[in-house]
Structure 1
Amino acid sequence: MEKYVNRYYLTEVDRYDDTIYCHHAMMGEKLIPEHVHKKGQFLYTEGGVVYLNTPKQSYFLPARHYIWIPAGVRHSIHPSSAEVIMRNLYFPVYEHDDDFFMRPGIYPVDSLLMELMMFTNRWNGNIWPDDDGRYSIAKAFKMLLSELGRGALPLSLPYPSDPRLVKIVEYMDQHIANHVSFRHIANQFDISERSLARLFQKELNMSFIQYFTILRMLKGLKLLLDEKLSINEVAARVGYSSLPTFSNTFTKIVGVRPSEYVKHKSLWNQ
């Protein structure tokens, strides 16, 4: 695995319009500042959690998942550790690209994608269209993304702009282990329940319970990846007294049961 030393590849990605660019490396640092590409980006990580911020959303990328970042979307990358490994493929925008490639999204990586992605581990830099073998494989990889990625996982949260809601979501984050009800929030911030519901829908395009549930699962994922806690302990830390309820909610949002996630965690981090 190449050591990540500098960000030279960020400028190399768009040097040639028609190439597919491949880059596998250790991060080596804990921030890649905001930037943008003319190519769409497939990003898969190993060895830790990656937070990816766009002007509109904050994304949480756990192990065995990838994020698709459309061309032209400004973003910054924040790994939980400098030892996180990134696997990147950058693709030109093709005329036949469907809607899948027009929006950011996080998706699980199945065994087929994993095999193809690991096959590209031997490549680095530009793959030219006249390199029939490698270019055809890489282009087929991109086509598979839209075929297999039919349902993006809700592993992101939008940013509120209303000052009242900024304080409310900060409070929710700080009290995630508690039973923070909708009524409690309304009383705490001296706002009617009706106004609070409208504020969540208008600002975040989701309900209070949708936001709080996703926030809890993202925190749970981070605890499962970064802390040596049992699933029971993680459930309690994010405010669930019922392990089955936590497990079922986790499975619905993340796509795998927490027990399976923990079982394979050591394999993903190798």
Structure 2
Amino acid sequence: MINNQEQFLALVDENPESIYCYHDLHNVEEQSTFFKHSHKKGQLMYVEGGTIQVEANKKTFFVPGNHYVWIPAGEIHGIYSNSKTVLMRTLYIPIKEDEKDYYSTMGVYPATDLLLQLLLHTKDWRGDIEESNRKLYPIVQAIKVLLPDFSKTPINFTIPKVKDQKLKEITQFLDDNLDQNIMLSDLAQRFDINERSLHRLFKKDTNISFIKFFTIIRMYKAIDYLSQKKYSISEIASKVGYSSIPTFSNTFYKVIGKRPSDYQRGAEILK
């Protein structure tokens, strides 16, 4: 990702009429971070490899490979990734006042074939693309115009943002031990809290149960492993705490809407 965040954001908004194009295709050896910020243009970010998380609206939006996130203009957000390889293709798009109704909702979506083909044309472009550029501008403008049609069915890849400090410690422990069969009673004993109180804390702070929370973060980690294409389905199941492949596959399907094998076969079209 960009080393000097402030300078990069200044470049993005320097020309208010241009569509700013940037592709981050570098391998990273440690966590990538784009700290909380906003920009005057809307942001289309397609994730071609690895996975990213976008924090905004008191939620964490999880964006796996072959999906994109739309971030409205002015939305305060942070971008994070633990994947060793993160491939992102980004367009920063100016949104006029009378267009805001069409481009005001943040969400994560599967990439359509048409969007991928349009993005394919931008893969070597960098910086401002202005209307005077008769070769490049029609491509990126087409992406903007078609975006509302591409974005009709958002995927519910979100995790509620944890606010309680004790619960932050607990959820970090869960994240570090996804391969373990952890029960609510185990957590209560480890963190010296009444089991019923811990159950209520999960519901109050995240609006979902402990079991659902733990299942979601396990499945999101499974997507991360799948996108790396280094592990078999059985290895991934074990890494996220499932001894039964059918149980893992069924749970993955319920949360994500696809079988793990279908996800693993997904091609990185823009490589």
- Pick the TM interval, shorter chain: 0.7 to 0.9
Q: Which moved more, 1:193-202 or 1:17-26?
A: 193-202
Does residue 1:97 correspond to 2:75, yes or no? no
Q: Which moved more, 1:109-118 or 1:241-250?
A: 241-250
| Residues 154 and 214 in structure 1, CA contact (< 8 A), matched pair in contact too | no
Provide the TM-score with structure 2 as the length reference: 0.80
Does residue 1:204 correspond to 2:203, yes or no? no
In 1, Cα distance between equivalents of 2:191 and 2:2: 46
Letter matched to residue 244 of structure 1 = P
Partner of 1:19: 18
Residues 70 and 201 of structure 1: is their aligned pair in 2 closer, same or farther, counting only changes over 3 Å?
farther
Letter matched to residue 26 of structure 1 = L
CA-CA distance at 1:167 after TM superposition: 2.2
| Residues 24 and 124 in structure 1, CA contact (< 8 A), matched pair in contact too | yes
Tell me the alpha carbon deviations over residues 88-131 of structure 1, each in whole angstroms, 9 at most, x when there is no partner: 111122323336x4343222112111111112335432233455
Q: Which moved more, 1:171-180 or 1:25-34?
A: 25-34
- Residue among 135, 143, 147 paired with 1:141: 143
- Residue among 39, 44, 47 paired with 1:45: 47
Residues 152 and 253 of structure 1: is their aligned pair in 2 closer, same or farther, counting only changes over 3 Å?
farther
Tell me the alpha carbon deviations over residues 110-164 of structure 1, each in whole angstroms, 9 at most, x when there is no partner: 2111111112335432233455675454333234333232343333433322122
The alignment covers a number of residue pairs equal to 265
| Residues 18 and 129 in structure 2, CA contact (< 8 A), matched pair in contact too | yes
In 2, Cα distance between equivalents of 1:203 and 1:89: 34
Segments of structure 2 that go 5 or more residues without pairing to the other structure are: none
Partner of 1:223: 225
Q: Which moved more, 1:218-227 or 1:122-131?
A: 122-131
Residues 69 and 228 of structure 1: is their aligned pair in 2 closer, same or farther, counting only changes over 3 Å?
same
Partner of 1:175: 177
- Residue among 72, 80, 85 paired with 2:83: 80
| Residues 229 and 264 in structure 2, CA contact (< 8 A), matched pair in contact too | no
In 2, Cα distance between equivalents of 1:6 and 1:170: 28
Q: Which moved more, 1:200-209 or 1:125-134?
A: 125-134
Residues 25 and 171 of structure 1: is their aligned pair in 2 closer, same or farther, counting only changes over 3 Å?
closer
Q: Which moved more, 1:45-54 or 1:130-139?
A: 130-139
| Residues 54 and 77 in structure 2, CA contact (< 8 A), matched pair in contact too | no
| Residues 2 and 8 in structure 2, CA contact (< 8 A), matched pair in contact too | no
Residues 263 and 252 of structure 1: is their aligned pair in 2 closer, same or farther, counting only changes over 3 Å?
same
Residues 9 and 27 of structure 1: is their aligned pair in 2 closer, same or farther, counting only changes over 3 Å?
farther
Residues 44 and 195 of structure 1: is their aligned pair in 2 closer, same or farther, counting only changes over 3 Å?
same
| Residues 20 and 127 in structure 1, CA contact (< 8 A), matched pair in contact too | yes
Segments of structure 1 that go 5 or more residues without pairing to the other structure are: none
Letter matched to residue 12 of structure 1 = L
CA-CA distance at 1:199 after TM superposition: 1.8
